Amino acid sequence: MKKVFLTAVFVISFFLISCREDIVEFAEIQKDSGSLFLSSYPQGAVIFLKDTQTNFKTPEEFDELEPGEYIITLKLDGYSDTTIVVNVESGKRNFLSIFLNKKIKF
């Protein structure tokens, strides 16, 4: 009787743990967002997304961005501001490495 009880507890526990993992995986698949990893050379450029300062500096990763176009500007003292447009797609990770140009002094 004790063996039957322990076996039943083990089987039920295994079933519950398996179900929980499946639910978590399903939730991750259904995300309607993308991510963006930005790096620059040199590092430490201030990041602007859609003309709004983020208070982050390169390198930085932005998770759970809504899909769509993003205008990204990097600013660093002594270097020209660099602006690019990135299309973030749902469920995808975008990686950008940007080389900044030194300002020319006349």
pLDDT digits (tens, 9 = 90+) for 76-105: 999 999 999 999 988 888 898 999 999 988
pLDDT at 74 over 70: yes
Q: Beta-strand (E) ranges in the chain? A: 34-41, 46-49, 52-57, 60-65, 68-75, 82-88, 93-99
Q: What is the pLDDT of residue 1?
A: 67
Encoding tokens for residue 4? 């039957």
Confirm if 29 and 58 have CB atoms less than 8 A apart. Answer: no
Average pLDDT for residues 35-59, to the nearest whole number? 92
Helix (H) or strand (E) holding 16: helix 2-29
Residue 65 CB neighbours (<10 A): 17
pLDDT at 17 over 60: no
Encoding tokens for residue 72? 């990204």
Distance in angstroms (rounded) separating the CA atoms of residues 66 and 93: 12
Query: What's this model's pTM, rounded to 2 decimal places?
Result: 0.66
